[in-house]
Structure 1
Amino acid sequence: MNVETGMLKPGEARHPAESTQEIIAQDNVKAPEWAASEHYEYLGSEDISKDRYIDPEFAKGEFEKMWTRTWQMACREDHIPETGDYYVYDIGQYSFIVTRCEDGEIRAHFNACLHRGTKLKPSGTAGFANDLKCPFHGWTWNLDGSMKELPEKWDFAHTEKRNMCLPEARVERLGGFVWVNMDPDAPSLEDYFGPEAMAHFNAWKLENRYIYLHVQKSYPANWKLTMEAFMEAYHVGDTHPQVQPANGDVNSQYDVYGDHVNRFISTLGVVSPKLRDKYSEADIIENFTLGDSSSLGGTKPEFKEGDRARQIMADMFRQMFETATNTDLSHVSDTELLDTYSYTFFPNLFLFPGISLPMIYRFRPDPKDHRRTVYEVMFMRPKPKDGSYVETAEVQILEDHQSFAEAEGMDPGFGKILDQDTDNLYAQQEGLEASAKEGLTLADYQEIRIRHFENTIDKYMAMEPKRPNMKALQRT
């Protein structure tokens, strides 16, 4: 605040209700350091140009300048547990065969034959193979990318002195995820995310979870618009009114870390500050236990005058999850059990590391239509402590007209919330193209994740194009 004028500086304004950290501080089981922290940065108040969402040339530039330089989550290690297992990851026109080799290493080969370019494995597939063989003429590579067989080799004497290994992207592992990057000069994954975000990530132990539900749907909206629909809680009142009686929406917390990571924390078990005069602590319990927004499957805890609804919910969630997973959660904080922690890992991954609803969101642009996005939701559970095998879920692909609630295994109430989020996208994409206004006006605090995300896009778009270079990407 400016002491002389008493006026707030840009970015200083907050909802006058208690802050997220003040809510969390009242919990019985205290928050870990990564949760009990704030890291907001004011990044300006200028409008964001709408061209980035509607101009096909902008999308082309993203593929030439940004997607070829960034670390992307291709799959989980659990997708390829054994030697010969592979998983095809596509991003735009680029495609990779992520495979586990004989030495246990994981490699990501460009999914194209060095003969006449045929894809070695179909897009969107996973499976097992002893080698990587082209279906067209039978050129074959070992799992590590070295040449295994060239049919009619006598006719290709001119390739004898060439490096015929498959080009490959860089690969790193973190938290049970396999990350790929097409740029041999890119920073390490640790440097890319930065020390503070890496400390958060390492605290979650996501390598101890597995994907039990995986749902995919395509949307007629730009990939950035689709991502940004999930970057703030400002929309909850009008888009998800059913959850407001038990959700701290407009006093959610927003943080940014370097160029490539941001987050929000949205508290549950508290009423929206906008509805304090309409709902009591007892009403919060009712919201959790009744109707489509219920998180407790019809179970209703006892509520006494003077009780704090948030604490009742935390204690009940702890008991439910301990029973369901046969795990001692006494050391887990109340905020990890209750609240929504949403992290964006640039460019296209959301991680929700909480206990109650640990999720992964991934967003990928359609290379043939800048107005379409492939959106994936993956739900995680703890792996059995006895080390017994659990199967990673195969993806369920929904049609445009289908609701998320139709996915087998999806909680209907949460499916409805996802539908509400994505239903806005139809009107937003069309509205931007129809608008006479040249940009989007963002809140300084509540929409800082969007500004942070778009600022990073702009940094990459200011670079020269960097297309994959075969020689730089081949093993020697």
Structure 2
Amino acid sequence: MAKSKTKYVGREHGVHLEATTPAGPFYTDESRFRKEIDSFYYRSWLNVAREEQIPEPGDFVTRAVGDESVILVRGTDGRVRAFYNVCRHRGTRLVEEPEGHKLRSIVCPYHGWTYSPEGSLVGAPHTEAVIDFRKEEQGLVAIRVESWGGFLWVNLEPSAPPIAEELGRFFAKFDRFPLRELRLASRQTYEVRANWKILVENYQECYHCAPIHPDLNRITPYFSGEVHDYFVDGARMTPFSGGYMEFAKDFESMTWSGYTNRPPLTGMTDVDRRRIYYYAIFPNLFFSLHPDFLMIHRTWPHSPDRSTVECEFYFDAAAMDAPDFDPSDAVELWDLINRQDWAVCEREMKGVRSRSFKGGRYSEQEPQVYDFDEYVRRRLEEA
């Protein structure tokens, strides 16, 4: 086999050069989708929120995870807890609002059962004569929640390994940056008519960057950078994958001009300032650390062909306090890039429905795409 003259981002040799891309049912089959939600979204550590969203006792956010609803609330003791957003009486959804502040108690709108922010049942009208009824046994059903980098993570599987065991190697790569001190500057939400795996595959390669993202490709050419971590590396499997891309010329950030007057984030070395780090954390997080800000995407699947994507931008708090702070140079460019991605992902979703599509071939530039697809296959086989 002749060796390509193109610079690889990732492996020069690998199974992807012999493999076939998935056929249509990998993306369209309803039963596969339901199994993925159960095996991945209900049994993995999910990035769901930011601690700064719920700074005071009674502050809360709710999250839809598949068919489940999760509420995260800060208790009067300052601790954040997560619960199924379900009344223990007859299963009514307790809170519909996406977020709120200073919630003194959680009251079921149906029959008035009342819970403290710590999840304890404190009021249940007309249960005095109920046999063997104990309020202390009827609190909200807890969900595991942990924090890293100022983010809140939940896992609906009670027996799952601790987050440090699952993602500790990823965390160690970025612990040198004070991510907890960053502050949210912008949030955008997109409704995308595409399977969630198509969105992850898209993030796993820049093979498409030259034709789809000319502005991005001008600043960080698609052949720049290196991949350091793979979902699948031989027999080894890990729940994250990524590396970095390098700036062309003397560019400093992913902005319209490629330059910025914002200072680099604390902890950025001269080497870091020439890079953007891109990591996918399975199953729902894209983590993109720029020299002067952090951008994340969260993917939330609803059906085989419908997903919600949240995109958030975090900047240094001191930079945000400056009177001339304006993140639009980054936010607006990434909004364009996002929309370019979602549009082409939706076109792929339309195409894989065709009875003619039986799978294709991976290019030299797509080892990470192959590894993600293989990771999904192996995880489903284990489930």
Q: TM-score range by the shorter chain?
A: 0.7 to 0.9
Q: In the alignment, is the contact (CA less than 8 A) between 2:177 and 2:268 conserved in 1?
A: no
CA positional deviation for 1:205: 2.2
Q: Does residue 369 of structure 2 align to residue 424 of structure 1? A: no
Q: Kindly provide the CA deviation profile for residues 105-152 of structure 1, in whole angstroms up to 9, marking residues without a partner as x.
A: 211100000111111111533333112111111101111111111111
Secondary structure at 2:110 match in 1: coil
CA gap 1:14/1:133 in 2 versus in 1, 3 angstroms: farther
Q: Kindly provide the CA deviation profile for residues 214-271 of structure 1, in whole angstroms up to 9, marking residues without a partner as x.
A: 110101111111222222111111111244343321243223254211113111124x
Inter-partner Cα distance in structure 1 for 2:253 and 2:108: 54
Q: Does residue 81 of structure 2 align to residue 145 of structure 1? A: no
Pick aligned residue for 1:269 from 241, 244, 248: 248
Secondary structure at 1:152 match in 2: coil
Q: In the alignment, is the contact (CA less than 8 A) between 2:144 and 2:155 conserved in 1?
A: yes
Aligned counterparts, 1:46-445, within 5 A: 46-50=19-23, 51-122=25-96, 124-160=98-134, 163-195=137-169, 197-257=170-230, 258-270=237-249, 293-296=256-259, 317=260, 320-322=261-263, 332-366=268-302, 369-384=303-318, 411-443=331-363
Moved more, 150-159 or 416-425: 150-159
CA positional deviation for 1:160: 3.1
Pick aligned residue for 2:372 from 444, 449, 453: 453
Secondary structure at 1:457 match in 2: helix
| Structure 1 residue identity aligned to 2:178 | K
Q: In the alignment, is the contact (CA less than 8 A) between 1:88 and 1:126 conserved in 2?
A: no
The alignment yields a C-alpha RMSD, in angstroms, of 3.1
Secondary structure at 2:221 match in 1: strand
Gaps (5+ residues) in structure 2?
231-236, 322-326
Inter-partner Cα distance in structure 2 for 1:380 and 1:58: 35
CA gap 1:245/1:129 in 2 versus in 1, 3 angstroms: closer
| Structure 2 residue identity aligned to 1:453 | F
Task: Name the TM-score, length of structure 2 as normaliser.
Answer: 0.86
Q: In the alignment, is the contact (CA less than 8 A) between 2:87 and 2:93 conserved in 1?
A: yes
Gaps (5+ residues) in structure 1?
1-6, 21-37, 271-283, 297-316, 389-406, 465-476
Inter-partner Cα distance in structure 2 for 1:123 and 1:40: 49
Inter-partner Cα distance in structure 1 for 2:253 and 2:240: 31
Q: Kindly provide the CA deviation profile for residues 422-442 of structure 1, in whole angstroms up to 9, marking residues without a partner as x.
A: 110221001011152322432
| Structure 2 residue identity aligned to 1:295 | G
Q: Kindly provide the CA deviation profile for residues 273-315 of structure 1, in whole angstroms up to 9, marking residues without a partner as x.
A: xxxxxxxxxxx87x999xx94234xxxxxxxxxxxxxxxxxxx
| Structure 2 residue identity aligned to 1:141 | Y
Q: In the alignment, is the contact (CA less than 8 A) between 2:351 and 2:357 conserved in 1?
A: no
| Structure 1 residue identity aligned to 2:93 | K
Give the 4+ runs in structure 1 shifted more than 6 A: 38-41, 407-410
Q: Which structure has the larger Rg?
A: 1
Secondary structure at 2:262 match in 1: helix
CA gap 1:408/1:383 in 2 versus in 1, 3 angstroms: closer
Q: In the alignment, is the contact (CA less than 8 A) between 2:63 and 2:98 conserved in 1?
A: yes
| Structure 2 residue identity aligned to 1:49 | P
CA positional deviation for 1:43: 5.3
Q: Number of aligned residue pairs: give it.
A: 370
Secondary structure at 1:128 match in 2: coil
| Structure 1 residue identity aligned to 2:381 | A
Inter-partner Cα distance in structure 2 for 1:349 and 1:215: 15
Q: Kindly provide the CA deviation profile for residues 62-95 of structure 1, in whole angstroms up to 9, marking residues without a partner as x.
A: 1222222100011111111111111111111111
| Structure 2 residue identity aligned to 1:456 | Y
Q: In the alignment, is the contact (CA less than 8 A) between 1:118 and 1:136 conserved in 2?
A: yes
| Structure 1 residue identity aligned to 2:247 | L
CA positional deviation for 1:410: 7.0
Task: Name the TM-score, length of structure 1 as normaliser.
Answer: 0.70
Q: In the alignment, is the contact (CA less than 8 A) between 2:151 and 2:180 conserved in 1?
A: yes
CA gap 1:178/1:163 in 2 versus in 1, 3 angstroms: same
Inter-partner Cα distance in structure 1 for 2:82 and 2:269: 38
Corresponding residue for 1:32? Answer: none
Identity percentage of aligned residues: 24
| Structure 1 residue identity aligned to 2:146 | E
Corresponding residue for 1:399? Answer: none
